[in-house]
Amino acid sequence: MKKTVEGATASVVMTEAVASRLEAADNIMGASLQGRINHSVCRWCYDSIDLDSLCRAAKNIGLQSIELLNVDEFETVKKYDLTCAMVSGIGKEFGITNGWNKKENHEGLEEWYKYLIDETSKAGFKNLICFSGNREKKLSDEDGLKNAAIGLKKIMKYAEKKNVTIVMELLNSRVDHPDYMCDHTDWGVELCKNIESDNFKILYDIYHMQIMEGDIIRRIRDNHKYIAHYHTGGVPGRHEIDETQEIYYPAIMSAIAETGFKGFVAQEFFPIRADKLASLKQGVNICDI
């Protein structure tokens, strides 16, 4: 009986703590944001907070989007007049490690992505993420690129018709995603040039590319026409993007804005502080140049 009472007490304390953080977020005035950057946040980084609560906090912080959502989550964000700036492409069979760089995946991916394109279009959203897949040692970068282009071209006319942009994410293969193929800007840009569609672009993840190649601002300036979306994250560790890490985000955001970019920048760091929403607010403010 004692164990039950202690468990109940702990539950009450946890509920009160979450409620307190959400109440604090409710007091944030989103109208103070400057408007040069469109702000989003990746859902998975805040999965300890239910989606409705995160939507309320996001609205009050000044976010316009919660992203990397599944189809069954679309109506929740729309209820709060939020968009999903990047729809998830993860499925039972396909994802980061198993993607478009292998011909044997193309038939299944074509069916899966046409379904996702339909749902993304019906919801009025614009961007749908995709992944190269891993090299798995036996596949060269050149062959993987050719394979990915062949497969993706099969869905591009459909995506164009539905006004959906397919966006391949750049990820690091040194720390988080060993063996991932689309791990350098040049590879992603070359794929864009091969596909030759305004509805295929890359997701430039600043965290991942700082780990792989650095020289972030130059690469953004040189390749911005191929970039549909940006993600943040502190290096090292993928935590808060403040003075505890090595990237100076205000300068990067200014460079992004100077390119004329009208898409979204999403916070994709995993907060390590107790007040996750305060970390989110801080990240948005740092990027709101």
What tens digit of pLDDT does each residue of 88-126 get? 999 989 999 999 999 999 999 999 999 999 999 999 999
CA-to-CA separations, 13 to 22, 51, 54, 272, 278, in angstroms, rounded: 14, 20, 19, 20, 19
User: 232 - beta bridge partners?
Assistant: none
According to CATH, the topology of domain 2-287 is TIM Barrel (3.20.20)
SS3 label, residue 233: coil
Burial class (CB within 10 angstroms; exposed 0-12, middle 13-18, buried 19+) of 140: exposed
Alpha helices in the chain (DSSP H): 2-26, 51-61, 74-79, 106-123, 141-161, 185-195, 206-212, 216-223, 249-258, 276-287
Domain boundaries, the chain: 2-287
What length does the chain have?
Answer: 289
For residue 19, pLDDT over 80 is answered with no
pLDDT above 90 covers a percentage of the chain that reads 87
Provide the whole-model pTM: 0.89
What tens digit of pLDDT does each residue of 231-288 get? 999 999 999 999 999 999 999 999 999 999 999 999 999 999 999 999 999 999 999 9
Res. 15 pLDDT band, cuts 50 70 90? very low
